[in-house]
Amino acid sequence: MKGKVGSHFVLNTGAKIPAIGLGTWQSGGELCVEAVKTALLVGYRHIDCAHLYGNEIEVGEALDEAFKGPLSLKREDVFLTSTLYCTMNSLNKIENYVRVSLKNLGVSYLDLYLMHWPETSAFGDATDPPSKSGKGSEYRQFLNRLKKAWKAMEGLVDMGLVRAIGVSNFRVQQIKELLKFAKIVPAVNQVELHPFWRQDELVKFCQLKGIHVSAHTPLGVPTSSPGPSDSGSGGEDEAGTPRISFRRSRSVHGPMLKLSAVAEIADRHKKTPEQVIFNHSISH
């Protein structure tokens, strides 16, 4: 049945973000085009992408067909998120980066633009965290770069290129640092979140600050091995400077869907394990 998928949440900007969206990481070529087209056809209205994924042109192709084809969607019908991956050399080019994404997607604005990781780093894989933790002078440099990057992102809102800005993979301490100088409070913090990595402390903190928590990889990271997660804040060094820890959790993917608790709940309600996990995430 065609129609809107799921409900929505209201951001601190007043905008509505669909509760369920299609992520486009690890999707490319014609497969990406068809995935986005199919998602829009069955009712998805939130597409999450990033220039670093290398497929925004394909996403744009699918959007163009949705806008001009039988679906006759309008730009305002689709919530578009893209992501900035900061590198050491990108801080002065953030406006250019978002303009490239807009051109590739074939739209005049983004509904949401996220800072992919709470650090500027060497170029890497789309989901690779920076390799260095910050402390001492490195930590101060991190704060200076974060401030410069966020100021540039705030400028994108002033220019009308993006409607809202947010962060991704930020922890409580990093958000606290950001809020010390931010003129615009992040609308979203997008983190890995699912029943097996709840991040309750982070979720509660964001909610208190009016920051919507969005779950990426809600079924877990495909390339991660099963096991307990590490969601610590990094602690402090000898001088009392907060450490910025970027260790990713050892999350689960396929195995999570087969675990007896999830499978039993799904069977009891005549649903799939994926539906059970999505429902838990939306309710949480």
Per DSSP, the three-state class of 139 is helix
Average pLDDT over residues 180-199: 92
User: Where in the sequence numbering do the catalytic residues fall?
Assistant: 53
Closest by CA position to 198, among listed 229, 174, 244, 168? 229
Of 56 and 247, the structure prediction assigns the larger pLDDT to 56
Cβ-count burial 59-71 (b if 16+ within 10 Å, e if not): bbbbbebbbeeee
**Average of pLDDT values for 232-255?**
40
Domain 8-252 has CATH 3.20.20.100: yes
Q: 165: part of which helix (H) or strand (E)? A: strand 165-168
Average pLDDT rounded to a whole number, residues 244-258: 50
Note the pTM of the prediction, 2 decimals.
0.81
Residue 255 has pLDDT above 70, yes or no: no
Helices 137-158, 172-179: inter-axial angle, 10-degree rounding? 60
- pLDDT tens digits along 8-30: 999 999 999 999 999 888 777 88
pLDDT tens-digit profile of 122-154? 433 334 444 444 455 677 777 888 899 999 999
pLDDT at 42: 94
Q: How far apart are CA 212 and CA 81, in angstroms?
A: 14
**Which of 91, 117, 122, 105 is CA-nearest to residue 48?**
105
Using the predicted structure, report yes or no on whether residue 229 has a pLDDT greater than 80: no
Question: What pLDDT score was predicted for residue 136?
Answer: 59
pLDDT of residue 249: 40
Residue 118 CB partners (closer than 8 Å, separation 6+): 146, 167, 169, 170, 171, 174, 178, 244
Q: For 9, left (φ over 0), alpha (ψ -120 to 50), or beta?
A: beta
Of 48, 104, 36, the residue nearest 73 (C-alpha)? 36
Q: What is the mean pLDDT of residues 163-188?
A: 96
Q: Check residues 18 and 217 and name the one with the higher pLDDT.
A: 18
CA-to-CA distance for 20 and 5, rounded, in angstroms? 7
pLDDT-based confidence at residue 280 (cuts at 50, 70, 90): confident
Q: Would you call 21 helix, strand, or coil by DSSP?
A: coil
Of residues 69 and 161, more confidently modeled: 161
Distance (Å, rounded) from C-alpha 282 to C-alpha 6?
9
Computed over every residue of the chain, the mean pLDDT equals 81
Mean pLDDT, residues 179-203: 93
pLDDT band (50, 70, 90) for residue 86: confident
**pLDDT at position 254:** 59
- In angstroms, the CA 121 to CA 136 distance is 17
Write down the pLDDT at residue 4: 53
Q: Do residues 100 and 67 touch, judged by C-beta distance below 8 A?
A: no
Which segment of 231-235, 261-265, 278-282 scores lowest on mean pLDDT? 231-235
Banded model confidence at residue 1, pLDDT cuts 50, 70, 90: very low
Where do runs of H (alpha helix) occur along the chain? 29-42, 56-68, 94-105, 137-158, 172-179, 200-208, 254-258, 260-269, 273-283
* 3-class secondary structure, 213: strand
pLDDT score of 164: 98
